[in-house]
Each structure stands twice: as C-alpha cells, then as structure tokens.
Amino acid sequence: MKIDPDYNCPFNSDHTPFGDVVLSSRARLARNLEGFPFVNRSTTSDCIEVTSLLSQICTKNNSNLQLKWIEMDELDSVTTEMFVERHLISSSLAHAIHPCAIAVGPELSRSVMVNEEDHIRIQSIRPGLQLTDVRDDVHQLDLLVEEIISYAFDDQLGFLTACPTNLGTGARFSVMVHLPGLRLVKDLERVRRACEGMSLAIRGYRGEGSGTMADLYQVSNQITLGNTEEQLCNILSEDFLPPVIEWERKARMTIAKEQSQRLDDQTFRSLGLLQNARILTPEEAMNNLGNIRLGISLDRIDTIEISTVNQLLIEIHPGHLRWKYGKELDDDELNTRRADLIREKLGQ
C-alpha cells in the first residue's frame, strides 16, 4: 500500500452533512489485553509480544480493511509527523521509545495504534459530521481484534484502561468545528457552557491545554463510563451539534447583515495577505485561512472553492510540507514553502 497524503483529506467536508460548520468526526476506542501489564508497566518483551499478536490480527482476515502494518521504528520521521498532523497517531506514540506500531487503512482514515497509553487504540476519522459512520468503523475493527484476543474487562467497570478517565466503554467521540461566527458575535461562552452541561470537553485545534487557530475547536465526550457507546455518540451528534450548528449559522447571517463592512474587510484583508505573502507561520496561515473560509461560506468570495481551503488547513503543516518539498526543510524554509503553496492554491 502506498501512503499518499493527497488521497484523502480528513477536512474535505464540503460535500458532507453540515460541512460548513463540522470539519471532521472522529471515534476512538481504548483497549487492553488481559494478562498483560498496561504499557507504562510493560517490559520490552511484553511490548514485543503485544505488537506481535496485533500484527497477526491486523494483517489476517482483513481483505476488506487492507490495513498496512507499520512498526513505529521503521516509519520515517516525515511520515510520522504527517500522521500526527492527521490525528492518525498521537504525539506520544510518535515519540515513544518502547516497541510500538500502527496499522493504517489505505484511505488514511482508520488506524490502530499499538502500545500507546493503552495496548490498543482503534481510531477512525472522516470529513464532516459522520459520527455514526466513524462509530461503526471502530466497532468493526474492535470485533476483528476481539475474535482472537481477550480484552481486559470487568463486569462493573467495563473495558479496563491505564487511565480511569477512559474506563468503561473506552470510547471517545469528537468533532472539529469551525465557529468564526460565534466568536465574532461574542457568543462562544454559550458553547462552553453547553459543553459543560453535557459533560463534553472543548479544546483548541491543537488539543488539550492549547489555544486555538482559525476558530477551530475540538469537542469530545469527557466521560466514558455509565453510558453506552451509542449514548455517548448521540450526546454530540443529537444533543450538542444541532443547536450549535444553528447558532453558528445564525451568527454568520447576523454578521453578514449587520457587520457587512467588517466581514468584507476581514475576508479580503486575509485573502490579500495569503495571495501575496512570501513568508507565513502556521498560526498566521491558519488564522487567515479561517477568515476566508468564513468569507466563502457567506458568498464574499466566489473564485475559491471551500474544499481548497479545507485541504490547505491540513497541507500547510510541517509534516505535509516536508512530505511534499523535502524532509530537510528548516523552520524558515517551511514558512517560505507554506506561503508558496498557499499562493499557488489560491491563484495568485
């Protein structure tokens, strides 16, 4: 299987339901094998035994899934960086020094991390609002693994995980949402309160403890115990997202109507900058792409497809730029290449 980052973009949400607000949907299951210590107490031979078992499972009976098995120490640094940027693997797996691995599907949407914080992290990511689909994806992989292996499971506590915050279902569902309208009408606090009330966590683009870029936020279930997988998924897809999507759309319409000049200024200032800059940091590029994404959704710009912006929101990150232009690029060269790529894609 050839790994091709151009093949699929997890943010290509333009033809998916609610793609104007929801960029991507993700599901993750945390699992551990019975009879083994958790990864943080595992010896090297335990880790090797677990990767060996999982490699047999992931490469067997998976004609439909076509998972490619990769030991992390065999994965080059650029592909590793690119996988982290696509959320296919976590940063901690990328930097782990014990034996660990990843099985990844050809569409770069499904993956199985082996020996991360837990022995197994099954993941799926799809563009737009497709929470039910990603839930089905991980369930299918879960069944494949448990046909052969016994999970650490307790009747009362469910699937046992290294951290009690993942206990029970081990399931984490999340969405990446674009909320520029709610920021501009100063209503993000309402979203935060809604998250709090539904036991959801809201984080910036780069995850826990980070600020955000491009008005992108990740929202996920905070609890994993005491609800079924379906219930946890529905809290996001049925209770949280419909009103938030509605608020965001209303906020965008309000801005277009009542702050039209400000919107135009923001949109074309960002467009001018992105079409002319020769050096762009990730933050500057992301924030201005976020602004023109809002401008496109409100018909301020009709010469650029929203899919072009969605694609750029992924492709301008260091791993993707190094994949495209060469792995030796330093930070200054990355900033130049980033600006070149954006000018090329935005037609200037």
Partner 1 sequence: MTSCDHCDKPAIYHDVRIANGVHNTTHLCAEHAMEAGVSLGPIDLSVVLHSTENAISGDISKACPDCGMTVAQYKKTSLLGCPSCYQTFSDELNSIITQVQNNNTQHIGRAPAQASVDLTRHLQIRRLLKKLESAVSQEEYEQAAILRDKLRELHTSGEPNEN
Residue number, 101 or 162, with CB nearest to partner 1: 162
Phi, psi of 295 (to 5 degrees): -60, -40
CA–CA dist 79, 3 (Å, integer): 9
Instruction: Considering only CA atoms, give the Rg of the chain.
Output: 21
For the bound state, the minimum distance from the C-beta of residue 40 to partner 1, rounded and expressed in Å, comes to 5
Rounded least distance, CB 239 to partner 1, Å = 5
Least distance (Å) from partner 1 to the CB of residue 93?
15
Q: Which residues bind partner 1 (CB under 8 A)?
A: 32, 34-38, 40-41, 117, 143, 146-147, 149-160, 162-165, 167-169, 171, 190, 193-194, 196-199, 201, 209, 222-229, 239, 243
Q: 88 vs 236, which CB is nearer to partner 1? A: 236
CB of 162 or CB of 346, closer to partner 1: 162
Nearer to partner 1, 111 or 169 (CB): 169
The Cα-based distances of 114 to 27, 55, 102, 119, 199 in angstroms read 16, 9, 6, 5, 28
The H-or-E segment that residue 333 falls in is helix 331-345
- Of 9 and 232, nearer to partner 1 (C-beta) is 232
Q: Which of 207, 237, 215 is nearest to 283 (CA)?
A: 215
Q: Which residue has the tokens 């000049």?
A: 261
Least Å from the CB of residue 293 to partner 1: 25
The residue among 8 and 234 lying less far from partner 1, judged by its C-beta, is 234
Q: How far is the CB of 159 from partner 1 (least distance, A)?
A: 8
Find the shortest distance in angstroms from Cβ 214 to partner 1.
24
Torsion over CA: 139, 128, 90, 167 (sign): negative
C-alpha angle 199-202-208 in degrees, rounded to nearest 5: 115
CA distance 6 to 288: 22
